[in-house]
Amino acid sequence: MKLLRRGAEAELYLSEEKGKKELLKRRVSKGYRCKELDEEIRSGRTGLEARLLNEAKKFGVRTPQVYGVDKEEKEISMEFVEGSRVKDVLNMGNFEGICERIGRDIAKMHSFDLIHGDLTTSNILLHNNKLFFIDFGLGTHSKKIEDKAVDLLVFRKTFEATHADLMPLGWEKIIEGYVAKMGSEGRKVVEHIAAIEKRARYH
């Protein structure tokens, strides 16, 4: 296997057998946690991420196909999606239609109370003009408008930092797609972002 990336939470490996590429995500141990707690957290997050990947797909959001889960080894084997990071696509100036589609896909997840937890344009791939959402390692379930608003707010901050030249038009298109798909609840979520920011200013 070839190591593709080593992050704070996991290592990504690429393997290829009989022409089929497969991605292995292995959650790494944290030395600062006691062993029992570390095992429980990594095992739980591994299982949850695999479920979220499958759920998002059922909700109409493209994600890598999960092939297997090994909670003992804290590993998920999944489809390797060939494609470009949306971060790179947008930085090359190709954002026509992409931003609105991103908003619609986030709305699909939020409509079913699925919170991605780490929305960035690095965690969205473009393959054959289709969007794929990856890395649900910090994801969860929540019915709360607050949690959905935080999901969007975190995304907006990373979007501003990564694509300053596309602001505010790019972000407006994302919100346009989000509200168009999610309706009145989507408007409530977007309005709640301002309330969160207001609280932050006074703390």
* CATH of residue 71: 3.30.200.20
CATH number at residue 190: 1.10.510.10
Give the max Cα distance, the chain: 58
Q: How large is the C-alpha radius of gyration of the chain?
A: 17
Q: Is pLDDT larger for residue 44 or for residue 94?
A: 44
For residue 180, the enclosing domain spans 84-201
18 has a pLDDT exceeding 90: no
Q: Are residues 69 and 91 in the same domain?
A: no
Pick the catalytic residue: 105, 118, 135, 151?
A: 118
Last residue of a domain, one of 79, 108, 133: 79
Last residue of a domain, one of 57, 79, 101: 79
What is the rounded CA–CA span in Å between residue 158 and residue 174?
13
Q: Which residues contact 60 (CB under 8 A, 6 or more apart)?
A: 105, 108
pLDDT 10s digits, 87-118:
999 988 777 789 999 999 999 999 999 999 99
Block residue for tokens 């990071």: 85
Q: Are residues 48 and 92 in the same domain?
A: no
Q: Are residues 20 and 46 in the same domain?
A: yes
Q: Are residues 106 and 195 in the same domain?
A: yes
Q: Are residues 74 and 150 in the same domain?
A: no
pLDDT 10s digits, 25-35:
999 988 788 98
* 147 among known catalytic residues: no
175 has a pLDDT exceeding 70: yes
pLDDT 10s digits, 60-95:
999 999 999 999 999 999 999 999 999 999 988 777
Q: Are residues 55 and 98 in the same domain?
A: no
Closest CA to 159 of 114, 197, 103: 103
Which pLDDT band holds residue 203 (cuts at 50, 70, 90)? very low
| Structural domains counted in the chain | 2
